[in-house]
C-alpha cells in the first residue's frame, strides 16, 4: 500500500513539474535587447574606453557599443547605441558627437542620446579619431579615413605608415603616430610629411624611441614616448611642437621597470594643466602614474595611484571633477591627486541575472 502511495506521489509531482514548464509563457523571462548592452553587464570586461567632457557633462563609449553620460563621473545613464561593436573613441567636434570602434564602426549624434550608424566602407577596427579644419579623421588596422561631415568617408591610400594608431588634430592639421620613431603631419588628412623624433640620454641595445600617445593641448601637439636606457629602466620623454613639424624633446625622467615595460596610456586636460597617464611594470603589480605640466615642457610625476589604468583607456575633466576610466571601474577626483575608485553602474542596469524584475 505504501509503495503504491509513493508511486502516486512521484507521478503527481512529475505531472505538476511538466505542467509548470508547459504553462510558462514566452514573456516570463526577459533578455535585454535595446539599448545594448544595458542590463547585461559582463563581469571582468572593461566597460568604458573613451570619455570626453562637453556641454556640462561627461560622455563615454565602450564595450558592446555602450554610450553613457554623467554629470559627476560616478553615476551614469546609458542610451540606445547604433551598434553592439566595441566603441573605442568619442569626440565632440563640428557641432556633433562622433564615435568609432571595431569592425569599421562609425556612429554620429547631435545630442549623444540618439545615434546614427554611418558607413565607413572598411572592416578594420578603428582605434583613434580626430578633427581639424572641418575634417574628421579616423584610423586603425592599417586604414586612414577622412570625412567633411562624419557621414561620407573617403579611404586615404597612405603606404608609408599603414599602421597609424593614434591621431590628434588642431587648426594646423593632424599629427599621427604609429609606434615608430617618426611622427606624421598633414593639413588635410590626405597628404602627409614625416618628421623624426630625436632625444638625448643613454640607450640600451640600440633601441629606438617608441611614441605611444598624442594630443593637442594649450597650443601644442604633445607626444609621449619612451626608450630603454638599460635592461631594467626606461627614459620617458614628452615631445612638444607648436605646428606639428618642429619638435622639442622633454626628458621627464628615468624609471625602473624591472624586466617589464613602460607605458604611456593617454593624455587628458585638467583645470590648469595637461596630464599624461601611464604604468610602470616591474615584477609584481604595475605602478600607475600621472605626469603634470602647465606649459607642455616641464613635467612632474605622482605615483602610487589606486589601482591601474589599463593601456588605451582615457580621462577627462569638467564640473570641477577629474574622471579616469579603469578596468570595469572609474577613478574620480576633485583635485587630480586624491582619487576614489567606483564601480561602473548605469541607471539602466537590470542586475547580474540579466532578467527584469
Higher pLDDT, 32 or 347: 347
What pLDDT digit, counting tens, does each position of 151-208 carry?
A: 999 988 766 555 789 999 999 999 999 988 999 999 999 889 999 999 998 899 999 9
Would residue 186 count as lying in a domain?
yes
Alpha helix locations (H) across the chain?
2-23
Residue 14 lies in a domain: no
CATH number at residue 121: 2.130.10.10
Mean pLDDT in residue range 16-34: 44
Range of the structural domain that residue 303 is part of: 34-343
User: pLDDT (tens digit, 9 = 90+) per residue, 316-342?
Assistant: 999 999 999 987 788 999 999 898 888
**Distance between the two ends of the chain, CA-based, in angstroms?**
45
Q: What percent of the chain has pLDDT over 90?
A: 65
Give the global pTM: 0.84
Q: Is the pLDDT of residue 104 over 80?
A: yes
Say if 19 falls within a structural domain.
Answer: no
The reply to whether 57 falls in a domain is yes
pLDDT, residue 134, reads 97
Over 60: is that where the pLDDT of 353 sits?
Answer: no
In a domain, 85, yes or no: yes
State the pLDDT at residue 162. 59
Q: Would residue 22 count as lying in a domain?
A: no
Is residue 56 in a domain? yes
How many domains does the structure of the chain reveal?
A: 1
Domain-located, residue 114: yes
**Can you tell me the distance from the alpha carbon of 326 to that of 345, in angstroms, rounded to the nearest whole number?**
13
Amino acid at each position: 500500500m505504501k509503495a503504491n502511495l509513493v508511486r502516486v506521489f512521484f507521478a503527481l509531482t512529475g505531472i505538476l513539474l511538466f505542467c509548470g514548464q508547459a504553462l510558462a509563457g514566452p514573456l516570463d523571462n526577459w533578455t535585454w535587447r535595446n539599448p545594448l548592452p544595458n542590463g547585461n553587464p559582463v563581469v571582468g570586461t572593461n566597460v568604458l574606453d573613451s570619455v570626453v567632457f562637453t556641454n556640462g557633462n561627461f560622455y563615454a563609449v565602450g564595450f558592446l557599443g555602450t554610450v553613457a553620460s554623467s554629470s559627476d563621473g560616478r553615476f551614469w545613464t546609458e542610451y540606445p547605441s547604433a551598434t553592439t561593436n566595441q566603441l573605442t573613441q568619442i569626440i565632440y567636434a563640428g557641432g556633433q558627437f562622433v564615435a568609432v570602434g571595431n569592425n569599421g564602426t562609425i556612429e554620429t549624434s547631435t545630442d549623444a542620446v540618439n545615434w546614427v550608424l554611418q558607413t565607413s566602407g572598411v572592416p578594420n577596427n578603428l582605434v583613434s579619431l580626430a578633427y581639424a579644419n572641418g575634417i574628421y579623421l579616423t584610423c586603425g588596422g592599417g586604414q586612414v579615413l577622412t570625412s567633411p561631415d562624419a557621414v561620407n568617408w573617403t579611404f586615404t591610400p597612405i603606404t608609408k605608415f599603414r599602421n597609424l594608431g593614434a591621431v590628434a588634430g588642431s587648426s594646423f592639421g593632424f599629427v599621427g603616430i604609429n609606434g615608430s620613431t617618426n611622427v606624421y603631419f598633414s593639413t588635410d588628412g590626405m597628404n602627409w610629411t614625416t618628421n623624426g623624433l630625436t632625444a638625448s640620454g643613454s640607450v640600451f641595445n640600440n633601441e629606438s624611441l617608441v611614441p605611444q600617445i598624442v594630443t593637442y593641448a594649450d597650443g601644442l601637439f604633445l607626444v609621449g614616448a619612451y626608450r630603454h636606457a638599460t635592461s631594467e629602466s626606461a627614459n620617458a620623454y614628452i615631445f612638444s611642437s607648436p605646428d606639428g613639424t618642429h619638435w622639442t624633446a622633454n626628458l621627464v625622467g628615468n624609471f625602473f621597470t624591472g624586466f617589464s615595460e613602460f607605458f604611456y596610456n593617454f593624455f587628458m586636460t585638467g583645470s590648469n594643466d595637461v596630464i599624461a597617464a601611464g604604468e610602470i611594470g616591474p615584477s609584481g603589480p604595475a605602478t600607475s602614474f600621472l605626469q603634470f605640466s602647465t606649459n607642455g615642457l616641464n613635467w612632474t610625476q605622482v605615483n602610487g595611484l589606486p589601482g591601474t589604468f589599463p593601456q588605451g583607456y582615457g580621462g577627462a575633466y569638467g564640473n570641477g571633477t577629474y574622471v579616469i576610466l579603469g578596468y570595469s571601474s572609474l577613478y574620480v577626483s576633485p583635485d587630480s591627486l586624491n582619487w576614489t575608485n567606483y564601480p561602473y553602474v548605469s541607471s539602466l542596469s537590470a542586475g547580474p541575472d540579466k532578467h527584469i524584475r
